[in-house]
Amino acid sequence: MTATTFAPFSRAQLRHVDNSALALARGDNGIPHPLFHAAELAHAKEKIEAWPGYQPSTLRSLASLAAELNVGHILYKDEGERFSLGSFKALGGAYAVSELALNGADEIEQITVTTATDGNHGLSVAWGAKNHGMQAVIYIHAEVSQGREQALLNLGAEVIRVEGNYDESVRICYEAAKKNGWHIISDTTSGDAGHDVARKVMTGYSVMVTEIVAQITDELPTHVFVQGGVGGLAATVCEYFRIAYGDRAPKFIVVEPELAPCLYLSAEAEQAIAVDVVEETVMAGLSCGEVSSVAWPVLFHYANDFLTIPDALVAPTMKILANPFGGDDPIVAGESAVAGLAGFIAATQCDELKRTLNLESNSRVLVIGTEGATDPALYQSLTGLSAHAVRKTKTDRDLS
């Protein structure tokens, strides 16, 4: 690491909406109903903890990076080894599938589940279907990489590639499901449809936040930077922390690619609006033009800030994690995993934003590394390193 490591972050053009200020101006007192009920959270925890191979993912401390950036602490929830799938998404789609298996009226092997995906959510659904002996038909869009397609095929799913972007694949998937009587296991909503399933998927994600709350044994974070696609992850974390910590909940900052800023633009417009994604961001999991209508009310009322970042920050952030400062653990993090951390680093390099976000030398920042090298070829091309080599460096360090 050199003095120029943070240069791309200082140069980055960020867009920022202070949602707390907007909420104050509109006299927003929050939403009356919580997103999750305690019994549902407990049920998801019990079920997912019983899945073979379950273990909490690691909450890492990046003390050397924190010192470089002059903040008190950086915590990194590392989802790169979540089950065999390498992303937090393993908790969501597969949980909704397992609930269908539990409650479904049909014979299990007669059930076909379907979803549109840019990779990770589809893997979760296909994995859940395989574990329960169901069929899975997964829709991917034109830009989804060959590697991600192959991973879906490896789980026995039928994979259908469609023209157009993610939002188009969601539309085609819904049409096919209606025609064929398939069960849609979507991580988002389409118009008024899919609310219950999307909420189930998010209930699955909550298990990751339960782990974080258990893993934070000393002072609470002051800031959470979480990346957004349709907003399901961000809303889950935001809502859960509100339940767990009440008035002590950290400042919550949603980070998105500037090429797919549907949450940011919705915050700016003070209502959910759709964005046409014309150019694909390298952060494939965040390339969404329409917010989830389950997630949106939570973020609208409770997220403090919305931030967009350019794609140019992705590779530098992945490299900082792969080849870290001082004694920090080398971490394999995929393109969509690093958006929150990239947004945070960029904010530390901009005096005005740093002040607005109250980032100070005693700040304790939590980020969620939502995936590992889910596309190993892309990982190597962006970092110049193989995921295997980074893991080996870590193992060698642990042993020495």
Ligand X SMILES: Cc1ncc(COP(=O)(O)O)c(C=O)c1O
Which residues contact ligand X by CB under 6 A?
87, 89, 120-121, 187, 227-234, 285-286, 288, 336-337, 370-371
The two tokens of residue 351 are: 């005096």
Q: How far is the CB of 237 from ligand X (least distance, A)?
A: 10
Whether 371 and 331 have beta carbons less than 8 Å apart is answered as: no
Q: Which is nearer to ligand X, 234 or 346 (CB)?
A: 234
Whether 88 and 370 have beta carbons less than 8 Å apart is answered as: yes
Q: Which residue has the tokens 């014309």?
A: 278
Q: Which is nearer to ligand X, 9 or 296 (CB)?
A: 296
Q: How far is the CB of 205 from ligand X (least distance, A)?
A: 8
Q: Please, what sign has the CA dihedral across residues 192, 198, 202, 205?
A: negative
Q: How far is the CB of 288 from ligand X (least distance, A)?
A: 6
Helices (H) and strands (E) in the chain, counts: 17, 11
Q: Please provide the size of the chain in residues.
A: 400
Q: Which is nearer to ligand X, 16 or 121 (CB)?
A: 121
Candidate list 118, 167, 187, 375, residue with the active-site label: 118
Q: Which is nearer to ligand X, 88 or 182 (CB)?
A: 88
Q: Which is nearer to ligand X, 111 or 124 (CB)?
A: 124
The two tokens of residue 342 are: 């990239």
DSSP string, 65-127: HHHHHT-SEEEEEE-TTSTTTTBGGGGTHHHHHHHHHHH-SS-GGG-EEEEEESSHHHHHHHH
Distance CA 40, CA 33 (A): 14
Report DSSP state, residue 182: P
Question: Does residue 276 carry a catalytic annotation?
Answer: no
Distance CA 27, CA 358 (A): 22
226-239 in b/e form (b: 16+ CB < 10 A) is bbbbbbbbbbbbbb
Distance CA 109, CA 130 (A): 10
Candidate list 77, 78, 89, 375, residue with the active-site label: 89
Q: Which is nearer to ligand X, 111 or 229 (CB)?
A: 229
Q: Which helix (H) or strand (E) element contains residue 340?
A: helix 339-348
Other Cβ atoms closer than 10 A to 347: 28
Q: Which is nearer to ligand X, 111 or 284 (CB)?
A: 284
The two tokens of residue 309 are: 């970042």
Report DSSP state, residue 293: T
Q: How far is the CB of 234 from ligand X (least distance, A)?
A: 6
Q: How far is the CB of 133 from ligand X (least distance, A)?
A: 25
Q: How far is the CB of 167 from ligand X (least distance, A)?
A: 12
Q: Which amino acid is at 12?
A: A
The two tokens of residue 139 are: 């829709």
Question: Does residue 47 carry a catalytic annotation?
Answer: no
Strand partners, 73: 364
Q: How far is the CB of 107 from ligand X (least distance, A)?
A: 31
Q: How far is the CB of 257 from ligand X (least distance, A)?
A: 11
192-205 in b/e form (b: 16+ CB < 10 A) is eebeebbbbbbbbb
Q: Which is nearer to ligand X, 170 or 233 (CB)?
A: 233
Report DSSP state, residue 190: B
Catalytic residues: 89, 118
